[in-house]
Amino acid sequence: MTDRAQYTPGPASGAQVRKGGENWTLILVRELRHSPEKVWQALTDPAQLHEWAPFDADGSLGTAGSTVKLTTVGAPTPHVTETTVTRADAPKVLEYKWGGNDMRWELEALGGGTRLTLWTSINRRFIAMGAAGWHICFDVLNHLLSGTPLGRTVGPEAMKFPGFQRLNAEYAQQFGVESPGRPK
């Protein structure tokens, strides 16, 4: 395992929101130097999800129609969501719900790597925090795929991590929402 203390997330980038109602759509794009097939495995295999995602899965997310329990990591009380994979077109598109929120992963071959796009609905009050958390998850995923794992950094643990509050503030500014810590 790589020394996590040496990891610092880069600036907030590759994200946008579509505003409307209480839940907004967060769209995060990351270019990875790994094939779509390798990235697909990391998105669907429970053992790999355990290394980087903010939830554990009790089964593979790689087959449409599969029912899988997703357990949020670091929640103050156990939060388990039973989901059905609604779309699994390997290695291009994966869709399911987590905690009642839509999750859509798109993988596009790009040179020798992959452009990974996540579309997810998040309550607008938590959109910047969600972007900061997924930013760190994507960094951890990239390190895992590169063979230099950092170890999963999610939930309350991620919020204590150096760089999280900076990312949260940067995304809040980019999205035009209240900065963290300021009254509404």
- Tell me, yes or no, whether 111 lies in a domain: yes
Gap between the Cα atoms of 117 and 43, Å rounded: 12
Residue 91, CA distances (Å) to 36, 41, 42, 47, 95 in order = 6, 9, 11, 18, 12
22-40: average pLDDT:
97
67-80: average pLDDT:
90
Looking at the predicted structure, is the pLDDT value of residue 126 above 50? yes
- Tell me, yes or no, whether 183 lies in a domain: no
Looking at the predicted structure, is the pLDDT value of residue 119 above 60? yes
| % of the chain residues with pLDDT over 90 | 80
Give the per-residue pLDDT at 146. Answer: 95
Give the per-residue pLDDT at 178. Answer: 83
118-125: average pLDDT:
95
- Tell me, yes or no, whether 164 lies in a domain: yes
Looking at the predicted structure, is the pLDDT value of residue 74 above 60? yes
- Tell me, yes or no, whether 184 lies in a domain: no
Among 5-19, 45-59, 100-114, the least confident range? 5-19
Give the per-residue pLDDT at 160. Answer: 83
Give the per-residue pLDDT at 179. Answer: 64
Tell me, what CATH number does 87's domain have? 3.30.530.20
Instruction: Give the range of the structural domain holding residue 57, as residue numbers without chain letter.
Output: 4-175
- Tell me, yes or no, whether 180 lies in a domain: no
Looking at the predicted structure, is the pLDDT value of residue 182 above 60? no
Domain count, the chain: 1
- Tell me, yes or no, whether 37 lies in a domain: yes
User: Given strand 87-89, what is the order of strands in its sheet?
Assistant: 15-18, 23-32, 113-123, 101-110, 93-98, 87-89
Residue 175: helix, strand or coil by DSSP?
helix
- Tell me, yes or no, whether 116 lies in a domain: yes
What is the band of 170 on the pLDDT scale with cuts at 50, 70, 90?
Answer: very high
- CB neighbours of 89 closer than 8 A, spacing ≥ 6? none
